[in-house]
Structure 1
Amino acid sequence: MNGLEQMTLEQVENGSLNLWLPNCTLGLQRDLYGRDYDSFINCIYETLDLIISRIDMHPHLRARDSEDRTTLEMVNAFRFTGILAEQDAYYNGNCDFSINFRDNFVWLGEAKLDNSNTHIMEGFRQLVDRYVTGSKVQKEGALLIYCRLSNPTEVLQKWRDYLLQKETEESEYSIRFLEDPLEEGARYFYTVHRHKSSGQLFKVKHLTVSLHDVASDKSAKTRKNCSHSCLKCCK
């Protein structure tokens, strides 16, 4: 049993037995994710990274997905792990993505397709000016950018440049970029700013999810043709 008969709860919790007990380790870590704010946030982003990596694998099945469809899939995946995520829960408006641990810790995320930087900016405003309170139980949130028109690297760089230029010109939020410049191949960056209504620092993770299908072989082109009739994607 490789000494597992003498294992301790601490060993399971800290991951040292992950090789032999991966499900037990992950399950316990999920069960304890609400013990403090850092554990809460770390668990959310570790889980989100795993879910996004799976979504990235099948762009041809997701290239026409809406914001709501993609968000719902991630919300459902969270719930299967035991983390009770919600879609369109009310936080001074219907927030796309939320995780509330007994009102002790709250994480909110707003999702936008990469239609334009102005469209993404509206998502940022919704998140930081309407939904989050910036209180001690809501210190961090995320802006999820669903990259359907372009690849995530390009979308993220253009969004960062847009936000930086807008902040330089208007200084509306006094945003501080925690990664400057973006690392090669980065799929996210963080910003911190003074929350308008609470006066406290609020941290935003700007992260990308790829729905971008670039397959160009013959069978892929055939596959991309819509198999039904609708005004949005059929001529």
Structure 2
Amino acid sequence: MKDIFDKLKDAGRDALGTFVEFDPESPAQAPAAPRGPDRGVPVDVTLAAVPVSAPAAAPVSAGAAAPDPEFVQQLQAAVQASGKQAYGQFRTLFGALSAVPDDTQRASLALAAAQASHGVTAQQVAEAIDDRLRILAGEREAFQKAVGAESDAAIGGTQKKIDDARAAIARKAEEIRELQARQAELEAGLAEARASIDANSARFAASYAVVEAELAAERARIAPLLTPTSGTR
């Protein structure tokens, strides 16, 4: 599974390398890979040719990806670590009976031959398959943990920055709205002050004209009665 984890981490680096600095030595980004099969364990025939009913897979999103050949090989290698050899013995005999066209008959003949040559029963073959499914489920669990760790390391930091930026934008937007409201209040106050000043100025000018006209009229009235002064020509 180490190659699968490495591929997962490479994908994370490619996607977020611009924003996130990856430390290959960081424990958070290097989850321990499950142990692979020992070299001394006999290798089973590939599972790809066996019509085994597997547990229902988790739902996938629309446009599901195609199987990755490297992942398939890694998972097949992992299940070969099973210590129950009945399945491998059955598969060898099943493969040797390829001339039999009916799969059910072929499986029956292979089981009969396995029991005769190795003392293997159908129940033992089923238990061996179940053991491999258990190993396969363990690989999925390990992969999901690796995905979680990689998400925390590669995606979590960037997502936090995005969330912080979004929060900062919201704060700035609220600040801008408050400033705009304050600006509107000040502009309204300014307009009111200008209107008041203009009104007072207009009233003063009108009042000034009245008084000035009164004084000018009085001045004109007594002007003929004035005695010329010595400085008057």
**TM-score, normalised relative to structure 2:** 0.19
- Higher helix content, 1 or 2: 2
- Higher strand content, 1 or 2: 1
